[in-house]
Amino acid sequence: MKKTITALLLILAVISFTTFTATAQDQDEASSRISISATAQVVESIEMETVRDMSFSPVQPSQQLISINPLSDTNTGKMIALGNADSQIRVSFVRERTLRHANGSNTLTFTYEIAGNDEDDQSSAEILQTDNRDLTLNGNGEYYFWIGGQVNVENAKPGNYNGDFTIEVEYI
Amino acid sequence: MKRILLSLAFLLLPFGATHAQMLALNVEAPPGITVTVLSDGILDFGTLLQNQGQVSINLMDPGTEVISIEADKNRDLSVTLTPPPSLQLDANNTLPFTLGASYNNTGDNDKSQAVEFPDSYQKVFPSYDDQNASGPPPWACNDKKNNPNNNCDDTNNKNTVLSYIYVYGDITVGNARAGTYTGMINLNVNYAN
């Protein structure tokens, strides 16, 4: 009988211990801790460097069209975009710009053609549309532009004509 | 002698059964706290330019992090957020960071009803506060007797309710070196009573 009582008391002791353990675990679960991360990707500003301006040979009276081929002409303007290596960029520009006579109200319309390349190689560059989103700076963070185009001078009055060209480059 | 033994056994067996019921009572003990990140777990300020200045993710922005806390509906929660002082690229390159945080204990995941944490980012609030809530309280989902026609999902624990924490903030980008800046925001939750 003593053995039986001892055994039952032992069982009760085990049950009591189990009860205490379960309660302690519940108390541990009554708190919780988590972490979330905060992140920001900082990139360098894109800078545009003008290597050279577009140049025109003197226009002859008989000439009707001045054309500078952006893929092959040495008179093209040249610019380099400088930024974060291997970053995707968006390039956009206005294709037609007005050139104004230096001493009058006469104007000419210049139609730009741009070629771009992530290598410093004009001949393998690609002609860019007015809005390009799939371009990437090279491993040194560079992208090259050659600026050419066409202007009709058939009815132009003699004199100097001036205008500007705007190209916008931004990270995607 | 055998009779005495049997009698003792019968007397003791219900006593053992009583202990089994005590174990069952522990199941009904106050439920634990379950914290779940409902968003992606990354407060992402995106791609920023050097010297861009202050950039903010505000409470109502989609980039805000949302965390749910499932806890005993009758108890107060003590919630502490610990932000990093800055996001770091490395020891020498940091972006100052200011944490923003709000909570909603009306039972709804609704930013417009959220209350901003104090500057200490520590707050004690009831798991459920129905002062401004409309409609049935969350646990009404489980009360089929009084709300027989509710459309709630009543699979959750009857004793718990959900509170929501919204995490956002500001960083300031100066002449920082390019790269990925990171930091960890810790959230501690326990019962206050």
**Given an 8 Å threshold on Cβ–Cβ distance, is A22 in contact with B26?**
yes
| Closest CA–CA distance from residue B149 to any residue of chain A (Å) | 33
Contacts of B61 in chain A (CB under 8 A): none
Read off the pLDDT of residues B101-122 as tens digits, 9 standing for 90 and up.
Answer: 999 999 999 999 999 999 999 9
Lowest mean pLDDT: which of A153-162, B23-32, B179-188?
Answer: B23-32
Q: Are B80 and B121 in contact (CB under 8 A)?
A: yes
Spelled out in words, what is the top-level CATH class assigned to the domain B31-191?
A: mainly beta
Confidence of residue B21 (pLDDT cuts 50, 70, 90): very low
What's chain B look like in SS3?
Answer: CHHHHHHHHHHHHHHHHHHHHHHHHHHCCCCCCEEEECCCCEEEEEEEECCCEEEEECCCCCCCEEEEEEEECCCEEEEEEECCCEEEEECCEEEEEEEEEEEECCCCCCHHHCEECCCCCEEEEECCCCCCCCCCCHHHHHCCCCCCCCCCCCCCCCCEEEEEEEEEEEEEECCCCCEEEEEEEEEEEEECC
Question: Which has more confidence, B13 or B76?
Answer: B76
Question: Which of B23, B47, B191 minimises the CB distance to A19?
Answer: B23
Question: Which has more confidence, B137 or B60?
Answer: B60
Confidence of residue B129 (pLDDT cuts 50, 70, 90): confident
pLDDT of residue B4: 41
% of chain A beyond a pLDDT of 90? 35
Confidence of residue A130 (pLDDT cuts 50, 70, 90): confident
Q: Is the pLDDT of residue A3 over 50?
A: no
Q: Is the pLDDT of residue A83 over 90?
A: no
Rounded to the nearest integer, the mean pLDDT of chain A is 80
pLDDT of residue B30: 52
| Closest CA–CA distance from residue A167 to any residue of chain B (Å) | 19
Q: Taking residues B22-31, what's their average pLDDT?
A: 42
Q: Is the pLDDT of residue B12 over 90?
A: no
Q: Is the pLDDT of residue B153 over 70?
A: no
Read off the pLDDT of residues B69-100 as tens digits, 9 standing for 90 and up.
Answer: 999 888 999 999 999 999 999 999 999 999 99
Q: Is the pLDDT of residue B155 over 90?
A: no
H or E stretch at A17: helix A2-28
Rounded to the nearest integer, the mean pLDDT of chain B is 78
Q: Where are the domains of chain B?
A: 31-191
% of chain A beyond a pLDDT of 70? 82
pLDDT of residue B47: 84
pLDDT of residue B146: 52
Which of B6, B10, B33, B97 to mutate to probe the A interface, most A CBs <10 Å? B33
**Given an 8 Å threshold on Cβ–Cβ distance, is B45 in contact with A35?**
no
Question: Which has more confidence, A91 or B133?
Answer: A91
Which of B27, B86, B189 to mutate to probe the A interface, most A CBs <10 Å? B189
Question: Which has more confidence, A92 or A59?
Answer: A92
Highest mean pLDDT among A86-95, B42-51, B115-124: B115-124
Confidence of residue B165 (pLDDT cuts 50, 70, 90): very high
Confidence of residue A166 (pLDDT cuts 50, 70, 90): confident
pLDDT of residue B19: 33
**Given an 8 Å threshold on Cβ–Cβ distance, is B51 in contact with A42?**
no
Q: Is the pLDDT of residue B152 over 60?
A: no
Contacts of B46 in chain A (CB under 8 A): 40-41
pLDDT of residue B137: 53
**Given an 8 Å threshold on Cβ–Cβ distance, is B23 in contact with A18?**
yes
What distance lies between CA A32 and its chain's CA centroid?
42
pLDDT of residue B43: 94
Question: Which has more confidence, A46 or B169?
Answer: B169
Closest CA to A96 of A81, A82, A107: A107
pLDDT of residue A155: 81
Spelled out in words, what is the top-level CATH class assigned to the domain A47-171?
A: mainly beta
